[in-house]
Amino acid sequence: MSFTIASRIRLNDGHLMPIFGLGLYQAASSSKTTQIIIDAIRLGYPLIDTAELYRNETQVGEAIKNNNINREQIFITTKLFRTNDGRQGLHKSFNNSLQQLNTNYIDLYLIHAPQGGHVLEVYKEMIQLQKEGKIRSIGVSNFGVQHLKWLKQAGFIPAVNQIELHPWWQNEDIVDYCRINNIAIMGYSPLGKGHFLNDSYLIKLSQKYNKTSAQILIRWSIQNGFITIPKTTSGIERLQENMNVFDFILSDEDMKDLTNYGKKNSQNTGWDPTKNGKEKFGPIS
């Protein structure tokens, strides 16, 4: 599989999306974060994943504005955190995001989780924003199979579902459903938030390939066809390390073994709203 950092996939709405980018969860609202984003873009990171919740959309906006970066060069994902306030809440949050990101469109706008109700009302309004050219692609995050089925019943198939994905948390039912329905799969916490990097099996693999544990995990995501967004704010070296994953291939056997190994020790690293019920999703018609 010959991917490069510039590789893109075609989403079900026709837009192209990079397969690799920088995640910004828990990246501070500070000039250090702005600098990391500038460094990432200069190194060639084609995608930035932020969110209303992360409070660092301003830093993304600053990085693009102050450094003569062509907006079209960067694919920006951001997320609406609360659907609780329906259409009105969406407009308020969306306009705030546009302002902070210093842009007039979002490449991929996600509903952060199926937990606030009014999901269909909000989704419908996002389609309106898409028609106005303010959102290129519409996606969801932390949606389980049932949530995706409820969306489909209402006639909506998102372009992307962003869910936790690494060998220790494989969400196979959701991945299978997305593949069958042509929904691109964006994996978050590809490094398991750093929790598994000293795992002895992973270290053995990293020695075999002369790569780091982080690089093995990012490669596992890419070879599974997941769009991946490892986060780092600690400096340019890790930015470089995490993007230096396009010059090797994990063998089919090692992919299979790592997949099976993770499955046996299954563990997620954050929240898991994928199983929230209908009461959290909101009325379905």
Ligand X SMILES: NC(=O)c1ccc[n+]([C@@H]2O[C@H](COP(=O)([O-])OP(=O)(O)OC[C@H]3O[C@@H](n4cnc5c(N)ncnc54)[C@H](OP(=O)(O)O)[C@@H]3O)[C@@H](O)[C@H]2O)c1
112 is in an annotated binding site: yes
CB of 63 to ligand X, least distance (A): 15
Site membership for ligand X, residue 25 (CB under 6 A): yes
CB of 50 to ligand X, least distance (A): 7
Q: How far is CA 26 from CA 83, 153, 259, in A?
A: 21, 35, 27
Tokens linked to 145: 């199979």
Rounded distance, CA 259 to CA 247, Å? 21
Residues within window 58-97 making contact with ligand X, judged by CB under 6 A: none
What is the DSSP track for 102-124? T-S-EEEEEE--TTSS-HHHHHH
Spell 11-23 as b/e; 16+ CB within 10 A means b.
Answer: bebeeebbbbbbb
Site membership for ligand X, residue 36 (CB under 6 A): no
Strand runs labelled E in 13-54? 16-18, 22-23, 47-49
Residues within window 117-156 making contact with ligand X, judged by CB under 6 A: 141-142
Site membership for ligand X, residue 274 (CB under 6 A): no
Site membership for ligand X, residue 114 (CB under 6 A): no
Choosing from 190, 196, 219, 274, the residue that interacts with ligand X (CB under 6 A) is 190
Site membership for ligand X, residue 33 (CB under 6 A): no
Taken as a whole, the chain contains a residue count of 285
Q: Is 201 a catalytic residue?
A: no
Choosing from 93, 130, 171, 242, the residue that interacts with ligand X (CB under 6 A) is 242
Residue numbers belonging to the annotated binding site = 112
Tell me which residues are annotated as active site: 54
